[in-house]
Structure formats: structure tokens, C-alpha cells
Amino acid sequence: MDLLLGITDEGMTVFRWGVVIGASLVASIGDIRERRIPNALTFPLLAVGLIWATWSGGLFGLAEATGACLMLAVPYVFLFVFAGGGAGDAKLMGAIGPWLGLKHSVVVLLCVATAGIVLALVKAIAQRRLKFVLTSVLISCYTFTVCVAGGRRPRPAGERTDGPGQPGGSEVPYGVAICAGVCAAAAVVWMWGVEWLW
């Protein structure tokens, strides 16, 4: 019986990772082609993930799924507000959380952030804009610190002249970084598990 439960749990884990990898792959293709990640992908992914977590884990499962959703979405909401990141990126990251739970989401967050940094640096080097990108990052960090310390709200991303989609901006399809990071996280979890985090 324990063996059967172990096989079932492993099968469900593979299924959940498969859903997340598939969704992030679709999002990355859409982001490359249209420079957007559609709500038609992120909202159903989030809703079904929350339902799945509640069905399989009850109220505890729902609480963990909500925590994972917030843990993955909040950093990208900050990027959207302070640095002109994409709202679709934040929604996709939030929708991934309920499928994976808190422990796996920590790995996803680290891997996606790393993939995003690598993608941005490679693109900046290829376009010979590394100095501009690094300056923009420093300005964004400074703006965030000043606004938080002073209790002020920054200008919305749409009002900036150096964000994605604006003149002088450096557009990076972050859906690609999310997909690469999710795949890397799946490999890390498969090879080493997540116990080394705690």
C-alpha cells in the first residue's frame, strides 16, 4: 500500500510539473510572438491550480497554494510597478505557485530570477547596451528604496520613457526566462529534491 501511495504521489508530482512546464512553454511562445502573456492562459491556470490544491489538501492545501501564489507573484508585481516589467509575467508566476506548493516555488523563484538576469545580460551584450541596462537597474533599485523609505508611490510603469515598449527601452520576452527557469527548477527538484533548502 505504501508503495502504491508513493507511485501515486510521484505521478501527481510529474503531472503538476508537466502542467506548469507546458503552460510556461505556451506563454514563452506567445511572449516571443506577440510580446504578451494572455489572461486566457494565466487565469484558468491559477483557478484550476487553486481548485486542485484545495481538492487534494483541503484548507491547508488552499493556504499553501495561496502562499506559493503570492511568493511567486509579488516580486514580479514589484518589477511591474517599479521597473516597467510585464503584468503578464507577474500573473503567470502567481498562477504557477498553486501547482507546485511553497517548497518547489522557492526553487522556481530562484531559477526564474537567474534565467531572467542571464537573458537580460545576454541581450544587452548582444545589443551593446550593457551599460544602459546596468544603469537602469541601479536607478530602479534607487527609486524603489527612496519610494519605500519616503512612503511615496513611484510613477506607473506606463509613464516612464525607458521601460519595455518605450523609446530607448530594452524589450526582453520574460516568458522565455520563466519557461527556462521552470524547466531548470524541475531538473533541480528531480536531481536533488528540495530538502537541501531547509
| Per-residue pLDDT tens listing for the chain (198 residues) | 333 333 345 667 788 999 999 999 999 999 999 999 999 999 999 999 999 999 989 999 999 999 999 999 999 998 888 777 888 999 999 999 999 999 999 999 999 999 988 888 888 888 887 777 777 767 766 776 766 666 665 555 444 444 444 333 446 688 999 999 999 999 998 887 765 444
Nearest one of 63, 83, 87 to 73, comparing CA atoms: 87
Number of domains in the chain: 1
Q: How far is CA 143 from CA 117, 140, 166, in A?
A: 19, 5, 19
pTM of the full structure: 0.75
Domain that holds residue 24: 2-197
pLDDT at 68: 95
Q: Specify the amino acid at residue 165.
A: G
Nearest one of 117, 99, 119 to 31, comparing CA atoms: 119
pLDDT at 124: 81
Region of residue 172 (left: phi > 0; alpha: psi -120 to 50; beta: else): beta
SS3 of the chain? CHHHHHHHHHHHHHHHHHHHHHHHHHHHHHHHHHCCCCHHHHHHHHHHHHHHHHHHHHHHHHHHHHHHHHHHHHHHHHHHHHHCCCHHHHHHHHHHHHHHHHHHHHHHHHHHHHHHHHHHHHHHHHCCCHHHHHHHHHHHHHHHHHHHHHCCCCCCHHHCCCCCCCCCCCCCCHHHHHHHHHHHHHHHHHHHCCHHHC
